[in-house]
Amino acid sequence: MRILLFLLTNAAVLLLISIIFRFLGLGDMLNQNGVNLNLDSLLLFSAAIGMSGSFISLLMSKWMAKSSMGVYVIEQPSNATEQWLLESVRRLALGAGIGMPEVGIFESPDPNAFATGFSKNNALVAVSTGLMQHMSADEVEAVLGHEISHVANGDMVTLGLLQGVVNTFVIFFARIIGFFVDRVLLRNERGYGMGYFITQMVAQIVLSILASMIVMWFSRYREFRADAGGAHLAGRQKMIGALRALQRAHDPEPLPDEMAALCINSGGASRLFMSHPPLEERIAALQKL
């Protein structure tokens, strides 16, 4: 239902944008300047390319996580730690009202964890060896609650679909800019000239950078919700303790891009490109709950 509603919303957005283009006369303006483009067809083409990439990434997310991070999935616990992990995730998942996720461990000296998966009832929650070594049981429980909240909130699907929407508009506007430069400025009247390909490529890079700011803003907003969910499932003081433990740790090594927005902790970056809010702000938000 979440996916259906989001797709219907996106379809409505595309329809609204098409109407706005017609109202502003963008198509006529382009035609008058020799840029003969069917904007509706281009918009649909861009949506097909942008959204399909996101859906493929979502479908492959668990496999990609296991492969890229070397996640060992616990099927039959071999020691007390693995047994405790499974029991903790099962209890938290039950409290969040979702199906039991797969539980895994990946080798990393840094304290970190992430959740991924196509749906809330078919997810993966993984923790690093560093997290298990450097955090107390209460702090690990809070981190697991944070990741379970990501799953319960449908953050993986929503973030993937948002990425698909911004990809759509990046492709759409990059091609319009490329056509405009090629046909109007360089006055190429046949086919696609080098001006189109070069301009379209540069425009796509620039627009992708701007679009990533939108995705990262949403990711930061979502982190506050996951922290609140972790506090609800495991306890507010435990969640605050886990974030303070992350503050004491050294800056972690960055995870792959497809995992970074789904983890408990992330490396430093410019504010506009941060997938996570500063830990101080996250702790202050929890203290106000």
Catalytic site residue from 75, 147, 280, 281: 147
Active site residue 147: yes
* Residue 276 is labelled as binding a ligand: no
Residue 139 marked in a binding site: no
232 carries a ligand binding annotation: no
Ordered DSSP codes for the chain: -HHHHHHHHHHHHHHHHHHHHHHHTHHHHHHHTT----HHHHHHHHHHHHHHHHHHHHHHHHHHHHHHHT-EE-SS--SHHHHHHHHHHHHHHHHHT-PPPEEEEE--SS--EEEEEEETTEEEEEEEHHHHHHS-HHHHHHHHHHHHHHHHTTHHHHHHHHHHHHHHHHHHHHHHHHHHIIIIIS---SS--HHHHHHHHHHHHHHHHHHHHHHHHHHHHHHHHHHHHHHHHH-HHHHHHHHHHHHHSPPPPPPPHHHHTTBS------GGG-SS--HHHHHHHHHT-
Binding-site members are: 146, 150, 223
Catalytic residues, which ones? 147
Binding-site members for Zn(2+) are: 146, 150, 223
